[in-house]
């Protein structure tokens, strides 16, 4: 053993991936790419997850009067969060094995009253959601996804900008010839929130007495094509997302570029992991939640009682006699991988990364002992004991892993859903693949990392 072998140095996973395994890695990723392209909102992701779960034999928890080992169940919260479980061989009160991730991603939401006209154009006003660098969202193809609820309660689903024959939408930017003043501004001020207006039309209605001719034309169009009016847009969840498909990146096709890897890469791998396990020792849970990008607030976020309510539901269906004490025991005995993405080292911006504690594309799933900012403020730190368990598990199962902090000390920070699960007195560690250009409309992951994330979540749910 050379002196350096005692030192920790994560290996590049490609080097130890055989040709047969590479095929498997590429296959897994092409399914993921398809799923990512088709599901760009939390509603779409949740609905598609249900389809996959049902195909794999999972049933709604409401179908059961009694739960027993081997039962595969799921429950969905307001079409935007999901819990799927496979009942384990051990007693439920021995705790759950949970992989939790979030299915919301940064985007632009339409304002409640979005429609206006200006300069012979009709536009929609937006309000950005999550950590968005506003300048990244101009002059590129955008799609509108979501749901409109009409006054009588009926639903109109909207998805425009994804099919080849669909129109796309866009946000304009000032031309360089006239952009002198803009270019002198700080990047955070170059494009403002109120400038994130998407162009939706430019043919006016014909009529002397019509005041807002461009707006009227769009209202006519909405009524004709979707049977919705201006007031209907107030009871709507309409999201503006990039109109790109997820695509292979690089000559060697080793990378995958797409919208919403944060955190659908963890959500997808966690979903596949629970679908593929059979007869786990402990009851295995994949928990996919909404609203992480805005602090996990609201009834579909991790801070909602949804999760706890579902644990109570499991206890109620598992034991002959329900008790709150059993619910507490299930919670405190549970262990969690908080699936969320890490920042991949970016050779264009080396200054913000700490060299020895950075995640790199291609080195496998990233274990983040803690997140937070400054003096670990707001972090939920995994204990040495739990880190040890997970490290041992991954090593034994041949899961490629690395360790990282989000960036250099005092350069910034971030949080995940880990802290909210840790509040139940569970062991939790953050663990997911690294992403280049996180929160950009086009984020990039390494295919081998995606695959080892799936492997890591699988062995955690099934073997530990
Ligand atoms: Mn995330
Ligand atoms: Mn995020």
Q: How would DSSP label each residue in 117-158?
A: EETTEEEEEEEEESS--GGGGSSS-EEEEEEEE-TTS-EEEE
Where among 214, 242, 270 does a domain terminate? 242
Based on the structure, what is the number of domains in the chain?
2
- So what's the pLDDT on residue 4? 52
Last residue of a domain, one of 208, 242, 276: 242
d(CA 33, CA 1): 41
123 and 263 both lie in a single domain: no
How many other C-beta atoms lie within 10 A of the C-beta of residue 225?
Answer: 10
Residue 167 placed within a domain:
yes
Q: Is residue 420 part of a domain?
A: yes
Tell me the residues surrounding ligand 1 (ion) with CB < 5 Å. Answer: 262-263, 340
Distance CA(379)–CA(231), nearest Å, equals 42
CATH of the domain at 40: 3.40.630.10
Do 68 and 181 belong to one domain?
no
Query: What is the whole-number distance in angstroms between the Cα of residue 438 and the centre of ligand 2?
Result: 7
CA of 154 to the centre of ligand 1 (A): 33
* Cα(53) to centroid(ligand 2), Å: 25
What radius of gyration, in Å, describes the C-alpha atoms of the chain?
24
What pLDDT, on the 0 to 100 scale, is given for residue 247? Answer: 98
Alpha-carbon gap, residue 189 to 168, rounded angstroms: 26
Q: Which two tokens stand for residue 262?
A: 């944060």
315: in domain: yes
Q: Looking at the domain assignment, is residue 252 inside a domain?
A: no
**What is the Å distance from ligand 2's center to 295 Cα?**
10
* 3 state DSSP class of 43: helix
Q: Is 295 helix (H, G, I), strand (E, B) or coil?
A: coil
Ligand nearest to the CA of 443: 2
Shared domain check, 125 and 44: no
Domain assignment present for residue 177? The answer is yes
User: Cα(206) to centroid of ligand 1, in Å?
Assistant: 48
Beta bridge partners of 98: 285, 336
Q: Which of 96, 3, 120, 97 is nearest to 327 (CA)?
A: 96
437 and 371 fall within a common domain: yes
Query: 92 and 111: one domain?
Result: no
**Closest-approaching ligand to the CA atom of 416:** 1
Centre of ligand 1 to C-alpha 233, Å, is 29
Q: Could you list the residue range(s) of the whole structural domain that residue 130 is in?
A: 107-242
Residue 265 CA: which ligand is closest? Answer: 1
Q: Per-residue b/e over 424-449, b at no fewer than 16 CB within 10 Å?
A: bebbbbbbbbbbbbbbbbbbbbbbbb
Q: How far is the CA of 339 from the centre of ligand 2 (A)?
A: 11
Paired with 314 in beta bridges are none
43 Cα to the center of ligand 2, angstroms: 17
Q: Are residues 224 and 368 in the same domain?
A: no
Query: Which ligand is nearest the CA of 264, by number?
Result: 1
Ligand closest to 132 (CA) is 2
Same domain, 315 and 365: yes
Ligand nearest to the CA of 342: 1
* pLDDT computed for residue 1 by the predictor: 40
Let me know if residue 447 belongs to a domain: yes
413 sits in which H/E element: strand 413-414
Ligand closest to the CA atom of residue 129: 2
Q: 370 with 449, same domain?
A: yes
Domain check: are 348 and 447 in the same one?
yes
323 lies in the same domain as 450: yes
* Domain termination site, one of 182, 217, 242: 242
pLDDT means per 10 residues, the chain with 464 residues, are 64 95 98 98 98 98 97 98 98 98 98 98 98 98 98 97 98 98 97 98 94 97 96 97 98 98 98 96 98 96 97 98 97 98 96 93 96 88 96 96 91 90 97 98 98 98 88
Is 118 in the same domain as 83?
Answer: no
- 97 Cα to the center of ligand 1, angstroms: 20
Residue 142 resides in a domain: yes
Backbone angles phi, psi at 41, to 5 degrees: -130, 165
CATH number of the domain residue 127 falls in = 2.30.250.10
Kindly state whether residues 271 and 153 are assigned to the same domain.
Answer: no
| Ramachandran angles phi, psi of 172, nearest 5° | -80, 165
- How remote is the CA of residue 420 from the centroid of ligand 1, in Å? 14
Q: Report the separation in Å between the CA atom of 275 and the middle of ligand 1, taken as the mean of its atom positions.
A: 22
339, 380 Cβ separation under 8 angstroms: no
CB atoms within 10 A of CB 25: 22
250, part of any domain: no
């Amino acid at each position: 053993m050379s002196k350096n072998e005692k030192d920790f140095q994560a290996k590049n996973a490609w080097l130890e991936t055989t040709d047969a395994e590479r095929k498997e890695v590429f296959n897994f990723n092409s399914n993921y790419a398809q799923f990512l392209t088709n599901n760009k909102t939390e509603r779409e992701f949740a609905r598609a997850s249900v389809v996959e779960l049902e195909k794999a034999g999972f049933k709604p928890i409401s179908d059961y009067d009694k739960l027993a080992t081997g039962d595969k169940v799921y429950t969905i919260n307001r079409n935007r969060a999901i819990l799927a479980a496979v009942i384990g061989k051990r007693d439920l009160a021995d705790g759950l094995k949970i992989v939790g991730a979030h299915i919301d991603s940064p985007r632009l939401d339409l304002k409640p009253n979005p429609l206006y006209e200006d300069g012979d154009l009709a536009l929609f006003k937006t309000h950005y959601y999550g950590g968005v660098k506003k300048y990244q969202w101009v002059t590129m193809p955008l799609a509108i996804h979501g749901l409109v609820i009409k006054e009588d309660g009926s639903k109109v689903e909207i998805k425009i900008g994804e099919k080849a024959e669909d129109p796309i939408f866009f946000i304009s930017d000032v031309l360089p010839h006239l952009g002198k003043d803009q270019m002198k501004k700080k990047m955070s001020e170059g494009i403002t929130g109120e400038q994130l207006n998407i162009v939706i039309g430019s043919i006016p209605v014909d009529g002397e007495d019509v005041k807002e001719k461009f707006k009227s034309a769009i209202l006519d169009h909405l009524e004709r094509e979707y049977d919705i009016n201006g007031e209907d847009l107030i009871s709507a969840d309409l999201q503006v997302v990039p109109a790109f498909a997820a695509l292979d990146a690089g000559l060697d096709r080793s990378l995958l570029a797409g919208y919403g890897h944060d955190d659908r890469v963890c959500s997808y791998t966690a979903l596949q992991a629970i679908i593929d396990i059979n007869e786990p020792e402990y009851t295995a849970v994949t928990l996919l939640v909404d609203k992480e990008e805005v602090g996990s607030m609201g009834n579909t976020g991790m801070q909602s009682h949804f999760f706890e309510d579902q644990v109570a539901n499991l206890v109620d269906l598992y034991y002959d006699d329900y008790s709150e004490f059993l619910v507490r025991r299930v919670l405190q005995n549970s262990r969690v991988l908080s699936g969320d993405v890490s920042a991949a080292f970016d050779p264009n911006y080396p200054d913000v990364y700490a060299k020895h504690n950075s995640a790199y594309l291609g080195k496998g799933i990233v274990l983040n002992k803690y997140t937070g900012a400054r003096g670990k403020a707001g972090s939920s730190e995994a204990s040495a004991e739990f880190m040890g368990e997970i490290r041992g598990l991954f090593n034994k199962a041949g899961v490629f892993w690395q360790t990282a902090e989000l960036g250099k000390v005092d350069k910034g920070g971030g949080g995940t859903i880990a802290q909210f699960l840790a509040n139940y007195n569970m062991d939790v560690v953050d663990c997911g693949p690294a992403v280049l250009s996180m929160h950009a409309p086009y984020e990039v992951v390494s295919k081998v990392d995606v695959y080892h994330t799936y492997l890591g979540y699988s062995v955690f749910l099934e073997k530990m």
